């Protein structure tokens, strides 16, 4: 993995995760048993490290069960304070140490937290401390590159488009024409949604969804589907999707696992970039999840642009909000490498006028069926069935509007996908000049916070080179 080159100090069983704001930083985690080291930036009240440590403990108490702090120590000359911790996490008892390095600017601090299972802590304490300070020293040597999409990336996109145009095959999928590589196949085509897949686990998709925002709207849609004799699977899916309005990030985080029917597990957001939208909200989202398979759960990496629009009318029974999304997924080893191909496939999508006309004719026929059934029923049922017909009219009109939007904007598929999803930026070792390709959010961390890490490192310098912090720091006795 990328962190093995970036952090040679890290044992092979450890991994690295990104801590998102407000606690921006890095977590180093042992995958064999419960122990970790976390480095994060925080805004803490207090005029010095001791006061900031106390403020941090006050913030941690609601988060960590049965938190106890003891053995408070400090060195004001080095702007450093630390204490021992004991707490429960996930039902397990942990022990550890938290250290606060106070910045020259009042309110800023770097927090170093290391913890391990209580029954292993005594034998792991010294090793964890040495590893924590060696990692901090390593962090002072790294900085984020400011490079954006480069000439090589532009050339990769151009070559992928030319290759697809030359060797791909056009497919008629639902309401679209799309060009795909020869071995790709369509997997889904309904109501403006499409999914094409490869045998290697890659997929490119467009989704246009109308989501009932309240219980009455869901009921109306389900009754309409029952009148039309549509399969119960569609009704079950509709029940899964029903939700109040959600912004794009929550569409991926909450609705996508429900839409997948269990094939999206442990979804993790890797990056999130808001985009301008005339109505509603839009974002470009990078994510990863685990997909069940006969060989076990397999990792999948994906990227999508999502637009979510709130209901245009807050009318019970006809309150829909809409989602337009298009993106690509693949095993992590393929995703960044073949991203130009996925961009080329999405850029090839264009609507089929005959398919649109057929879809409109089918919708009109469905509405006539509902209206005829309403006319044949008793008067006290007619009004309800007319409402169902109006609901479907409203839904289809919104769907055509969404389809038009995909046709006109193509959701800004372009080179910015390379920058966001392929991570074409670097972390640089300022001591040796070596460059490391890492996920985009880590580059952002080193670019945004690298100077601060180096500044903190100067204050902690005596602690970075093998000195045991408990022997350097002076204990503070609360009775003094």
pLDDT of residue 469: 44
pLDDT of residue 447: 72
In what side-by-side order are the strands of the sheet with 92-102? 14-19, 25-30, 35-43, 108-117, 92-102, 80-89, 65-75, 474-475
Residue 122: how many other CB atoms lie within 10 Å: 10
Strands of 292-425, DSSP E: 298-309, 320-330, 350-351
The owner of tokens 């049965």 is: 66
Long-range CB pairs of 163-168, under 8 A, 24+ apart, other chains included: 163/341, 163/344, 164/341, 164/344, 164/345, 164/348, 168/348
- Give the whole-angstrom CA distance, residue 300 versus residue 302: 7
The dihedral over CA atoms of 380, 385, 387, 392, expressed in degrees to the nearest 10, equals 180
- Which of these, 210, 301, 314, lies nearest to 255 by C-alpha position? 210
The predicted-structure confidence for 2-16, as pLDDT tens digits, reads as follows: 788 889 999 999 999
**Residue written as token pair 């709130």:** 310
In this prediction, residue 232 carries a pLDDT of 67
| The two three-digit tokens of residue 69, written as one number | 């702090």
Q: Would you list the domain boundaries of the chain?
A: 2-145+426-475, 151-421
- The Cα–Cα gap between 46 and 18 comes to 26
pLDDT of amino acid 113: 92
**Which letter does DSSP use for residue 9 in this model?**
T
Contact assessment for residue 423 and residue 438, using Cβ atoms and an 8 Å cutoff: yes
- Superfamily designation of domain 151-421: Mog1/PsbP, alpha/beta/alpha sandwich (3.40.1000.10)
CB neighbours of residue 98 within 10 Å: 20
Give the H or E element holding residue 185.
Answer: strand 185-190
Question: What pLDDT is stored for residue 5 in this prediction?
Answer: 86
Q: What pLDDT is stored for residue 106 in this prediction?
A: 62
Extract the tokens encoding 436.
Answer: 């490391």
pTM of this prediction exceeds 0.85: no
Token couple for 222:
């389900």
Contact 58, 75 (CB under 8 A): no
* 286-341 tens-digit pLDDT: 999 999 988 888 999 999 999 998 887 666 666 778 888 999 999 988 998 899 99
Residue 142 pLDDT: 84
The region, left, alpha or beta by phi > 0 then psi within -120 to 50, assigned to residue 149 is: beta
* Chain-centre distance for alpha carbon 7: 24
The residue to which tokens 């369509």 are assigned: 186
Q: How far apart are CA 32 and CA 226, in angstroms?
A: 52
- Rounded to whole angstroms, the Cα distance separating 272 from 476 reads 44
pLDDT less than 70: residues of the chain:
21-22, 104-107, 144-153, 189-191, 224-225, 227-234, 313-318, 355-416, 419-420, 422-425, 440-441, 444, 457-480
Instruction: Check if the beta carbon of residue 426 is closer than 8 Å to that of residue 434.
Output: no
> DSSP code of 20?
P
Instruction: Just give the CATH number of 2-145+426-475.
Output: 3.40.1000.10
Look at residues 426, 473, 476, 440 and name the one whose alpha carbon lies nearest to residue 133: 473
Return the HEC string of 202-270: CEEEEEEEEEECCHHHHHHHHHHHHHHCCCHHHHHHHHHHCCCCCCHHHHHHHHHHHHCCCCCEEEEEE
Contacts of the segment 390-398: beta carbons below 8 A, 24+ positions apart: 390/318, 391/217, 391/220, 391/221, 391/224, 391/317, 391/318, 392/221, 392/224, 392/363, 392/366, 392/367, 393/367, 394/318, 394/320, 395/210, 395/221, 395/320, 396/360, 396/363, 398/210, 398/312, 398/320, 398/322
Same fold across 2-145+426-475 and 151-421? yes
């Amino acid at each position: 993995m990328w962190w093995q080159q970036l952090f040679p100090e890290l044992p092979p069983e450890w991994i690295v995760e990104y801590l998102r704001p407000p606690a921006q930083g890095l977590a180093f985690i042992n995958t064999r048993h419960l122990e970790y080291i976390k480095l994060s930036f925080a805004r803490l009240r207090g005029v010095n490290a001791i006061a900031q440590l106390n403020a941090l403990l006050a913030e941690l108490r609601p988060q960590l069960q049965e938190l106890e702090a003891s053995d408070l120590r400090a060195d004001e000359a080095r702007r450093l304070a630390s204490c021992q911790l004991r707490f429960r996490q996930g039902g397990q008892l942990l022990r550890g140490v938290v250290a606060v390095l106070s910045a020259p600017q009042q309110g800023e601090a770097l927090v170093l937290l290391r913890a391990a299972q209580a029954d292993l802590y005594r034998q792991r304490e010294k090793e964890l401390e040495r590893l924590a300070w060696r990692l901090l020293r390593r962090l002072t040597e790294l900085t984020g590159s400011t490079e954006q999409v480069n000439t090589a990336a532009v050339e990769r996109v151009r070559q992928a488009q030319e290759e697809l145009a030359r060797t791909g095959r056009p497919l008629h999928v639902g309401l679209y024409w799309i060009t795909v590589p020869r071995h790709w196949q369509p997997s889904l085509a309904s109501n403006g949604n499409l999914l094409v897949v490869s045998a290697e686990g890659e997929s490119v998709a467009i989704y246009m969804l109308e989501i009932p925002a309240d219980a009455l709207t869901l009921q109306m849609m389900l009754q309409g589907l029952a009148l039309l004799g549509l399969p119960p699977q569609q009704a079950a899916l509709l029940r899964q999707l029903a939700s109040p309005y959600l912004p794009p990030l929550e569409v991926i985080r909450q609705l996508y696992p429900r839409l997948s029917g269990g094939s999206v597990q442990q979804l993790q957001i890797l990056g999130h970039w808001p985009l301008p939208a005339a109505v509603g909200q839009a974002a470009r989202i990078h994510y990863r999840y685990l997909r069940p398979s006969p060989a076990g759960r397999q990792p999948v990496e994906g990227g999508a642009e999502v637009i979510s629009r709130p209901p245009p009318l807050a009318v019970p029974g006809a309150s829909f909000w809409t989602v337009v999304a298009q993106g690509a997924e693949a095993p992590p080893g393929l995703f960044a490498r073949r991203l130009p191909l996925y961009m080329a496939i999405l850029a090839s999508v264009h609507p089929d006028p005959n398919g649109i006309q057929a879809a409109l004719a089918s919708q009109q026929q469905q509405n006539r069926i509902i209206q005829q059934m309403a006319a044949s029923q008793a008067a006290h049922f007619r009004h309800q069935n007319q409402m169902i017909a109006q609901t479907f009219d409203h839904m289809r009109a919104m769907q055509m509007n969404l389809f038009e939007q995909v046709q006109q904007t193509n959701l800004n598929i372009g080179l910015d996908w390379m920058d966001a999803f392929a991570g074409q930026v670097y972390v640089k070792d300022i001591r040796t000049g070596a460059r490391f390709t890492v996920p985009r959010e880590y580059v952002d961390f080193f670019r945004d916070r690298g100077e601060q890490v180096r500044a903190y490192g100067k204050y902690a310098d005596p602690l970075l080179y093998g000195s045991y912090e408990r022997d350097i720091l002076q204990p503070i006795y609360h009775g003094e």
